[in-house]
Chain A
Amino acid sequence: KQEVTQIPAALSVPEGENLVLNCSFTDSAIYNLQWFRQDPGKGLTSLLLIQSSQREQTSGRLNASLDKSSGRSTLYIAASQPGDSATYLCAAFYNQGGKLIFGQGTELSVKP
């Protein structure tokens, strides 16, 4: 069964710290992996999309990596700010079945 797991479920860090969010997937035959941000009461905002042929993608202070062989992706946030506080979800797309499989999310709190 294709499953996506995010650990930890919640993370609290002081402002300015660099941090890593983890995402693991059971089936390495992914087509791509997408990271989202969700603010309370809001929809999901797409942050980064990594194709299976890529190792990483960068956008501003965000860097996402993908290691298919180990079934892992990480989202690195540099110099965290209170405005980064949100829930971060990863989702793996598989051609087989054509579905996006979501993790449960990591709730990030950045303290001033």
Chain B
Amino acid sequence: DAGITQSPRHKVTETGTPVTLRCHQTENHRYMYWYRQDPGHGLRLIHYSYGVKDTDKGEVSDGYSVSRSKTEDFLLTLESATSSQTSVYFCAISPQGREQYFGPGTRLTVT
């Protein structure tokens, strides 16, 4: 987890509310990723970034948006949280996009 922090680490929110998760890195890596991990589905890529203001969708991007205005920060926003978005969210970073290093995760519960 060195060099990568996620905030908050735990969050409980109500259906329909907006939620923003933050990933912060001190490694100055170019690539950053957001995954969700669910039992039976493993790790699934939501969005990723290959530079400041450069982002692209992963396999489960519906209902999520991202922003990266600085190299060190990558934000994941749930515009209107739903119960299906209850999950553990992981941020990852990569210097060249070919190996990844993960943060400690954020446990999100949508009631």
Contact = CB atoms under 8 A, between A and B. Distances in A.
B82 to A, nearest CB: 23
Interface stretch (A20-28, A61-69, A77-85, A94-102): A94-102
Given A43-B90, A44-B90, A104 B99 contact: no
Interface residues of B, number: 17
B100 interface: yes
A100 B102 contact: no
A99 B42 contact: no
Interface string A24-38: 000000011010100
Given A99-B45, A103-B42, A46 B99 contact: yes
A87 to B, nearest CB: 10
Given A93-B99, A98-B97, A100-B100, A43 B42 contact: no
Contacts of B99: 32, 34, 46, 49, 93
A34 B103 CA distance: 16
Contacts of A91: 100
Report which residue of A36, A42, A44, A104 has the largest number of chain B beta carbons within 10 angstroms of its beta carbon: A44
A43 B102 contact: yes
Interface in B56-80: 58
Contact of B1 (A36, A43, A105): A43
28 contacts: A31-B98, A32-B99, A34-B99, A34-B100, A36-B102, A41-B107, A42-B105, A43-B1, A43-B90, A43-B103, A43-B104, A44-B90, A45-B1, A46-B99, A46-B100, A46-B101, A46-B102, A89-B42, A91-B100, A93-B98, A93-B99, A98-B97, A99-B58, A100-B45, A100-B100, A102-B42, A103-B42, A105-B42
